Structure 1
Amino acid sequence: MSMDDAAVPAELRRLWRVPTSSRLGRPAELDVDRVVRAAVELADQHGLGGVTLPKIAKELGFTTMSLYRYVGSKDELFVLMQDFAMGTAPEIDVEPADWREGLRQWAAAERRVNHRHRWLAQVPVSGPPIGPNQISWLEAALRVLRTTELDWAQKIGVVMLISGYVRYTTVLSEELETGRAAGVDEPEATRRYGESLAKLVNPEDFPEVAGLLASGVFNNSPGPGEDPAADPDFTFGLDRILDGVANLT
């Protein structure tokens, strides 16, 4: 990629890994990828709150000041981490006209990435997709929608809606997991919830809730290790969004 250094901000050049002008002397011992990879590993282990430039520097064996050549600020670091963790978009293998299945595959892939990197959904939204990996995900979604009659504004609206849904379900899942008692997995916690509430809810006062509790629906939560994109709650909501998109096409 060839860019006029004066026309592109330094943080974008780092995000897109645009080579800087060659300099005489010893090659740099650090680079953006090493810094960002260390930051992602810290976040995977300790959450987003466990990522600081001093901790990254310590992991790499450098001073904090030496990192500023590769990361201009903590906000920039989060953008770099987010793009790095997302990786390149998946290959969507569907017939050209089957946009619904294509979007389902796209959303499922994003849900799995968010499940692997639980902190991703907590990164503050600072603007539209801007990194190369994020742009590849946008390209993949738009390619799925290219056979529809949606205009560009509608297409980007659909992508934002689905990505926002994935983000919401990830955050909700994390918050519920954090709130559970130590050593209790999701199916057990959900079952206990249903059983406890059933003892308190009076069918005369809350007939619909009582019917819900008696249905056994809280005994069917996904177990640990199951595909997060196959969670019935996730797929139900996603299918309703796709139903709405279908009304536009």
Structure 2
Amino acid sequence: MTSEETIPAPLRRLWRLAESSRLGRPAALDVDRVVAAAVEAADRDGLDGVTLPKVAKSLGVTGMSLYRHVGSKDELLTLMGDQALGTPPRVDAGDWRTGLDAWARAQRAVYQQRPWLAHLPVSGPPSGPHRIAWMEAALAILAPTPLDWTHKIGALSLLGGYVVQTVRQDHELARGRADGERQSDAERAYGRALAKLVDPERFPETARLFSSALFETGPAHSSDAAIGDADFTVGLELILDGIAARVESAGPR
């Protein structure tokens, strides 16, 4: 048995390792076509629009025939996530902080273009070629630092999780707002309502927050995108500050 033959079938499909055809001719359907159809459905209808019967119908085949190319719905979601993430852009940064900032913003842009990516279930650590490529790009940025592997992976997990969570939150909040309602208007209405409900005796700091000027003097004329960018930057800077403190405490490489 060769080393390639010991690779589990889901990973073989994820990395598109060639499968021999028993009939001696290429199959009419393959993993790439199945995944492309599923990604197209998700782009159009979100994850709710991705079911094996629906994907099969779009390809003109039966649902059972898909199991020759994807082992399960969960595997299909993994294949979709890796394919839709794509390859990372080349980041030419003079320092690790600028590089990680660019890396995080580039990944956020992909998730914003396809919000359903942020709603995919986490089935394990990165294992597909595209997710590994993003990991490689970030590790290369951190290579000059004195951080050990544990802290490098911790930094990537924190950054990647932050990107996913902020995109998911923005998407869900946007869906929850009334048609045409601006984010700035929704935030001011939220602050005014909570200011009336929060008891200063029970929640003193929270009461101070809602009675502050934050919710009244926000960027009323800014677009939702600009507000989202500003909010994202605040959190990203805090994370990078934490990584910087760890880099400094680790000393020279």
Same-fold status (TM-score > 0.5)? yes
CA distance in 2, matches of 1:189, 1:79: 35
Q: Partner residue of 2:242?
A: 244
Alignment of 1:128 with 2:129, yes or no, is no
Matching residue of 1:59: 58
Q: Which of these residues, 125, 132, 136, is aligned with residue 139 of structure 1?
A: 136
Distance in 2 separating the partners of 1:227 and 1:136: 30
1:11 alignment counterpart: 10
Aligned mates of 2:43, 2:29 — CA distance in 1 = 21
Q: Show the 5 A alignment for 1:93-172.
A: 93-95=92-94, 98-172=95-169
SS in 2 for 1:148: coil
Q: Is the 8 A contact 1:107 1:163 kept in 2?
A: yes
Q: Who is 2:30 aligned against?
A: 31
SS class of match (2:6)? coil
2:208 is equivalent to residue 211 of structure 1: no
How far the C-alpha of 1:164 sits from its partner, in A, is: 0.6
Measured after TM superposition, the shift of residue 46 of structure 1 is 1.4
1:71 and 1:188, CA in 2 relative to 1: closer, same or farther beyond 3 A?
same
C-alpha distance in structure 2 between counterparts of 1:21 and 1:179, whole Å: 49
Shift in alpha-carbon separation, 1:158–1:55, aligned structure 2, 3 A: same
Question: Residues 142 and 152 of structure 2 are in contact (CA less than 8 Å); yes or no, is this contact kept in structure 1?
Answer: yes
- Which blocks of at least 5 consecutive residues in structure 1 are unaligned? none
CA shift at 1:119, angstroms? 0.9
Q: Could you list the per-position Cα deviations for residues 13-67 of structure 1 after superposition, in whole angstroms to 9, with x for gaps in the alignment?
A: 0000001124444421111111111111111121112210000011111111111
Q: Which SS does the other structure have where 1:247 is aligned? A: helix
2:231 to 230, 233, 236: 233
Correspondence for 1:189 among 168, 171, 186: 186
* Paired position in structure 2 for 1:84: 83
| Distance change >3 Å, CA 108–CA 192, structure 1 → 2 | same
3-state SS, counterpart of residue 115 of structure 2: coil
Contact conserved, 2:184 with 2:218, CA < 8 A, in 1?
no
TM-score (norm 2): 0.86
SS in 2 for 1:212: coil
- Provide Cα deviations, 1:131-183, integer angstroms capped at 9, x if missing partner: 00000000000000000000011100000000011111011111101111123
Letter in 2 for 1:32: V
Contact 1:201 1:210 in 2 (8 A): no
- Kindly indicate whether the alpha-carbon contact (under 8 Å) linking 1:203 and 1:210 is maintained by their aligned counterparts in 2: no
Q: Per the alignment, in what secondary structure is the counterpart of residue 248 of structure 1?
A: helix
Partners of 1:15 and 1:131 within 8 A in 2: yes
The one-letter amino acid of 1:211's match is S
Q: Quote the offset at 1:207 in angstroms.
A: 4.3
Distance 1:214 1:190 in 2: 6
Letter in 2 for 1:55: K
Residue type at the aligned position of 2:72 = S
Count of residues in correspondence between the two structures: 241
Aligned equivalents of 2:83, 2:100: Cα separation in 1: 22
Residue 209 (structure 1) shift: 2.3
From the superposition, tell whether residues 202 and 168 of structure 1 become closer, same or farther in structure 2 (CA, over 3 Å): closer
Identical aligned residues as a percent:
52
Give ranges in structure 2 of 5+ residues lacking alignment. Answer: 202-206, 248-253
Question: How far, CA to CA, are the matches of 1:129 and 1:198 in structure 2?
Answer: 40
Deviation of 1:6 after TM superposition, in Å, equals 2.9
Tell me, in whole angstroms, the C-alpha distance in 1 between the residues paired with 2:104 and 2:9.
32
Aligned-residue CA RMSD (Å): 2.4
